[in-house]
Structure 1
Amino acid sequence: MPNLAGEQLVAGVPGLAEMDVTIDVRDFRRLPSGSLTFDDLRRLAEEIETCDADGVVVTQGTDTIEESAYMLDLLHSGHRPLVVTGAMRNPSLAGADGPANVLAAVQVAADPGARGLGCLVVLAEEIHAACRVRKTHSTSLATFESPGGGVLGHVVEGRPRFLNAPRERVTVRLEPDVPFARVGLVTAVLGDDGESVRATGRYADGLVVAGMGAGHVPVGCVEPLSELAGRMPVVLASRTGAGSVLSHTYGYPGSEVDLLERGLINAGFLHPYKARILLTALLTAGAPAAEIAKTVTVAGAVHG
């Protein structure tokens, strides 16, 4: 359970007081990151939009940064820098990385070069796009990577150095009190007979299937997925964590050609976790089927 207030976090950051910035600290939620909800993130995005600041830094636990930062990215329509950071080692451990990450995050949020890039994730002096970043190791300080496209830049001697940027951003506008849609995530595995798809379809408003390889599923999953795609959006992503779903290479039952012909939506380079966040936001916003398919396709093409 988080036990440090925002003022305590800021007070423990060497070098922050020497920066030519004014920092206004606000405590929003004090929860383990795994207990954050979509509504928490919507409320946070609303508060960010209304606060009077040139840049914003959000600190949270690292367990869900790859998901929460992407939701904030979708909801952040302005040009103001928005940076999410955290720590892999808590303050009681030797070599705690939190203070360095907070300092680097503030340095990025204060830099004009971060404007218009959406939500960024900064840890270990690396700058990641929220739409790309992944937590790839349970304990390593170098856990955060961007397999699809690489890091956006580095913090060098206290100064952000940007190397590249996503070509296009996708944003979604949510009404304040509309209940969030329920989107399931099913991972295709060896011997899957489709029952997990059927079970998820009983409660979900939409589905993301993390297919094998370039977007493939066992033959037992084909009919259940086809049936679901006839009544809700079903997005096809890859469970590999890097690379794009294909569109016209393999044509056997359960291949990407077969599934896309049955109405599934190609997630492209979007990781299944990101695809679920995007589909949740689009369904909650009331987007029609054609808009959902177009937006997922655009997001999957540009976020690699």
Structure 2
Amino acid sequence: MGVVLLALGGTISVPGRGRGARLSGAEITAAVPGLTELGVPLDVRDVQAVPGGSLTFAQFLDVVAIASRAVAEGADGVVVTQGTDSLEETAFLADLVWPHEAPFVLTGAMRQPAMAGADGPANVLAAVRVATAPEARGAGALVVLNDEVHAARWVRKTHSTSTATFASPNTGPLGHIVEGRVRMLLIPPRHEPLPAGPDRKRLEDARVALHVVTLDDDGDRLQGLEATHRGLVVAGFGVGHVPGALAPRLGALAEHMPVVLTSRTGSGPVLRHTYSAPGSETDLRRRGLIDSGFLDPYKARVLLRLLLAAGAGRDDIAEAFALRG
């Protein structure tokens, strides 16, 4: 059946200053040199015409549902074009629930189509190649930009403007597109997918806060959080540390909701039992915090919210982070 391409919004669809509404999926694909020559049938659909920064969990889960139906009806793979602001989070959201062998490929652009050196066409061409590549089957959700293939689990947006912004600091890319050929170097392990269609009311209610720890942080902004949120992700210093004065507040919150400890550094894991001072990872785990392993704060928040929406209890959440972190 070929590839279903689902076009959202974002830079890849912005025609330029003063040039009206966003480009449609058909207009985006029409501007891709060499796409027709691939000989891949394309079913292009416009969905969720919003910038990447305005996407919601519910909206993107609807996109995943459309993609899943397309694969069930015979599509070989799916490409989603969207804004890059939230792409590292939507990719992981898709990866957590994607049940198919067919690749789910996300791409976008850092330069608008009218700019010199616009990268959108090359990224779309590469994404379609990956979506049809036998080597990419079974790899889950993939992010393809700059002729690199990244696992949704590891990819990060690391620069505000560079066309090479997407990187996987802990692992490097899974593969590359070289002379039009998809060269996969490794395939990440897959886990049982989470429920793809949580009840929308439960999803809405499963609010998860993210608190980035900073110098001299006393946790004042966390007061009353247990009344407004169901979970908390803490982006701690280094290997998972917080000021000693903040530790009791986090422990008190952990009595009311799951509190997940991550690192704000951008790569590397939180530790479990190397340091023992107040506010250390050992102290925080003793107070009931759940360690995220290698999951960064943004990915941890996605996983925690899906788990809460599915009705998972604290032990199930801890087990899920131990498996996926």
Alignment of 1:118-133 (within 5 A): 118-133=140-155
Question: Contact 1:194/1:221 (CA < 8 Å) preserved in 2?
Answer: yes
Distance in 2 (alpha carbons) for counterparts of 1:171 and 1:140:
33
**2:26 corresponds to:** 7
Distance in 1 (alpha carbons) for counterparts of 2:62 and 2:47:
9
Question: Contact 1:174/1:281 (CA < 8 Å) preserved in 2?
Answer: no
1:283 aligns with 2:308: yes
**Superposition deviation, residue 67 in structure 1:** 0.6
**Superposition deviation, residue 188 in structure 1:** 0.7
Alignment of 1:29-44 (within 5 A): 29-44=48-63
Question: Contact 2:139/2:187 (CA < 8 Å) preserved in 1?
Answer: yes
Structure 2 residues without counterparts, runs of 5 or longer: 1-9, 14-21
1:196 aligns with 2:221: yes
Does the residue aligned with 2:142 lie in a helix, a strand or coil? strand
Shift >6 Å, 4+ stretches: none
**2:212 corresponds to:** 187
Distance in 2 (alpha carbons) for counterparts of 1:257 and 1:176:
34
**Superposition deviation, residue 152 in structure 1:** 0.3
Alignment of 1:81-96 (within 5 A): 81-96=103-118
Question: Contact 1:222/1:253 (CA < 8 Å) preserved in 2?
Answer: yes
**2:120 corresponds to:** 98
Does the residue aligned with 1:237 lie in a helix, a strand or coil? strand
**Superposition deviation, residue 200 in structure 1:** 3.5
- Give the paired residue count: 300
**Superposition deviation, residue 165 in structure 1:** 2.2
**1:78 corresponds to:** 100
Deviations 1:128-186 (A, max 9, x none): 00010000000011111001211101011111101122233352104354321100000
**1:268 corresponds to:** 293
Distance in 2 (alpha carbons) for counterparts of 1:137 and 1:110:
29
Distance in 2 (alpha carbons) for counterparts of 1:200 and 1:59:
35
Distance in 1 (alpha carbons) for counterparts of 2:76 and 2:223:
48
**Superposition deviation, residue 198 in structure 1:** 2.5
Question: Contact 1:197/1:221 (CA < 8 Å) preserved in 2?
Answer: no
Distance in 1 (alpha carbons) for counterparts of 2:305 and 2:122:
33
Distance in 2 (alpha carbons) for counterparts of 1:201 and 1:90:
42
**Superposition deviation, residue 224 in structure 1:** 1.1
Distance in 2 (alpha carbons) for counterparts of 1:175 and 1:153:
30
Distance in 2 (alpha carbons) for counterparts of 1:174 and 1:104:
27
Give the one of 43, 52, 67 matched to 1:24.
43
Alignment of 1:113-262 (within 5 A): 113-169=135-191, 171-175=193-197, 177-179=199-201, 180=203, 181-262=206-287
Does the residue aligned with 1:274 lie in a helix, a strand or coil? helix
Question: Contact 1:207/1:234 (CA < 8 Å) preserved in 2?
Answer: yes
Distance in 2 (alpha carbons) for counterparts of 1:39 and 1:259:
32
Distance in 2 (alpha carbons) for counterparts of 1:54 and 1:145:
26
| Paired amino acid for 2:294 | F
TM-aligned CA distance change 1:289 to 1:71, over 3 Å = same
Identity %: 54
**1:108 corresponds to:** 130
Distance in 2 (alpha carbons) for counterparts of 1:199 and 1:102:
45
Question: Contact 1:174/1:284 (CA < 8 Å) preserved in 2?
Answer: no
| Paired amino acid for 1:136 | T
Distance in 1 (alpha carbons) for counterparts of 2:192 and 2:226:
27
Does the residue aligned with 1:83 lie in a helix, a strand or coil? strand
